[in-house]
Amino acid sequence: MKVLYNISIFLIGFGLRFLSLFNPKAREFVTGRRQIFPKIREALKDNTAPVIWLHCASLGEFEQGRPLLEAFRRELPSYKIFLTFFSPSGYTVRKNSSGADYVFYLPLDTRKNAKKFISIVKPTMAIFVKYEFWYHYTRILKKRKIPVISVSSIFRKNQLYFRKTGNFNRRILKNITHFFVQNGESLELLRSIDIYNATLSGDTRFDRVRKIVDMAEEVPIVQRFKGNDRVFVVGSAWQEDIDVLMPFMNEEKLKFIIAPHEIHQHQLDALQKSLVVKSVLYSQADEDGVEDATVLIIDNVGMLSRLYRYGEFAFVGGAYGKGLHNILEAACYGMPILFGDKNYEKFQEAMDLINRGGAFPVRDYPDLKKKFELLNTPETFQLACEVTRQYVTENTGATEKVMDYCRQVLLKPGV
């Protein structure tokens, strides 16, 4: 299995180099790793401070690791933060992150790369976010007695680690010093393969989202749009979501805020043409009289977390396609949450809120209509609001649990 693992890493590298000839993302993956070790060595040449290595696969994992990064900055400022990404989608967006001292791609997980990387960076501690379990990196870190922590990890019983043929994969997990897992199922699965160095901490994303919500400023234009009316907020909407929502928006006596996932003028034009009720773009709201509009279309990026506060209901996009987008921002404001019924099951928060009665998968327009009528009754509406609000409250605090462990390890005598 070790041989097969090494072959697979080689094939990944070879395949990406081939794809880089015509695929921009693969090209970024390859070019970003060229001369990576001389670049890292040059960046660290004058550093004398201890280093915390934080690794995230991509942008989503960065948002989970970000509360920890900020906590280290605040509580242990003498440590340098070395942040790595596997994917270009994370590195490209966060390569200039002010929270980290150094930001690089992670070299592919070969024995040679892992030894060289760890010898140059010399981390005092390594923190891997969620799914990142690399054989050579974790093995060499363990061999050199460098603590390796997995945060916001989540496991499912169909993963290789828990199959009869998963011995090699279990060996990777046993290189981890401590796991901080998102749910009880993950804790039990680890125990089923004799891994007990694990703590049920929850997901650090809750802390991040709660902070964003608490610090969010009012949006005067949206306040004017809402007035005293009830508002249905549609966040990160793809075309598949719009197709289901369109007849609903044209018929219901509500106001709607739509934040499309992608903003292109031809798509915005098509959206407005499909609406029989009055709509206005956010960028033109002052000119067009936002108070009289039924639909406010957000034609910019970065506002969504501030918009949910104005809603009584939320529909979060993505689940009819590649996957459900972040529902926690809506949950923080305590409201019923709806989304497509195709691709949401791998999102723990979605499953939890469905089971508790705070979130509702929607098959199509008739199903949306039916579930909205149910939610429109005072008893069901209040219950759903309380469920989502309480769920967020129960799950905040994961960052402090991880930091408490890190303080014990890093600040003990001799470290």
pLDDT (tens digit, 9 = 90+) per residue, 363-405?
Answer: 999 999 999 999 999 999 999 999 999 999 989 999 999 999 9
- 279 forms beta bridges with 295
Q: Is residue 415 part of a domain?
A: no
CA proximity to 329, closest of 311, 351, 306: 306
Model pLDDT for residues 53-111, shown as the tens digit of each residue: 999 998 889 988 999 999 999 999 999 999 999 998 888 888 888 889 999 999 999 99
For residue 260, the domain's CATH number is 3.40.50.2000
- For residues 81 and 100, the answer to whether their CB atoms sit within 8 Å is yes
Is the per-residue pLDDT at 119 higher than 90? yes
- At 288 the pLDDT is 63
The amino acid that residue 19 corresponds to is L
Do 161 and 175 lie in a common domain? yes
- For residues 49 and 81, the answer to whether their CB atoms sit within 8 Å is no
Do 383 and 278 lie in a common domain? yes
Is the per-residue pLDDT at 213 higher than 90? no
Do 171 and 312 lie in a common domain? no
Question: Which strands sit side by side in the sheet containing 198-200, from one edge to the other?
Answer: 102-105, 80-85, 51-56, 123-129, 148-153, 178-181, 198-200
For residue 96, the domain's CATH number is 3.40.50.11720
Is the per-residue pLDDT at 181 higher than 80? yes
- At 44 the pLDDT is 96
Q: Give residue 13's domain range.
A: 2-202+397-410
Count of domains observed in the chain: 2
Is the per-residue pLDDT at 413 higher than 70? no
Do 53 and 13 lie in a common domain? yes
Do 262 and 186 lie in a common domain? no
Do 180 and 220 lie in a common domain? no
Q: Looking at per-residue confidence, does 168 or 131 come out higher?
A: 168
Q: Where do the DSSP E strands lie in 60-177?
A: 80-85, 102-105, 123-129, 148-153
3-state secondary structure of 260: strand
Do 272 and 167 lie in a common domain? no
Other C-beta atoms within 10 Å of 50: how many?
15
Percent share of the chain, pLDDT over 90: 76
Q: Is residue 100 part of a domain?
A: yes
Share the mean pLDDT of the chain. 92
Q: Is residue 119 part of a domain?
A: yes
- At 414 the pLDDT is 56
pTM of this prediction? Answer: 0.81
Q: Is residue 195 part of a domain?
A: yes
Do 297 and 160 lie in a common domain? no
Q: Is residue 91 part of a domain?
A: yes
Model pLDDT for residues 248-288, shown as the tens digit of each residue: 999 999 999 999 998 889 999 999 999 999 999 999 987 66
Do 175 and 227 lie in a common domain? no
- For residues 186 and 154, the answer to whether their CB atoms sit within 8 Å is yes
- At 287 the pLDDT is 65
Q: How far apart are the first and last CA of the chain?
A: 35
Do 194 and 234 lie in a common domain? no
Do 57 and 94 lie in a common domain? yes
Question: What phi and psi, each to the nearest 5 degrees, are found at residue 74?
Answer: -80, -45
CA proximity to 391, closest of 312, 331, 348: 331
Do 151 and 241 lie in a common domain? no
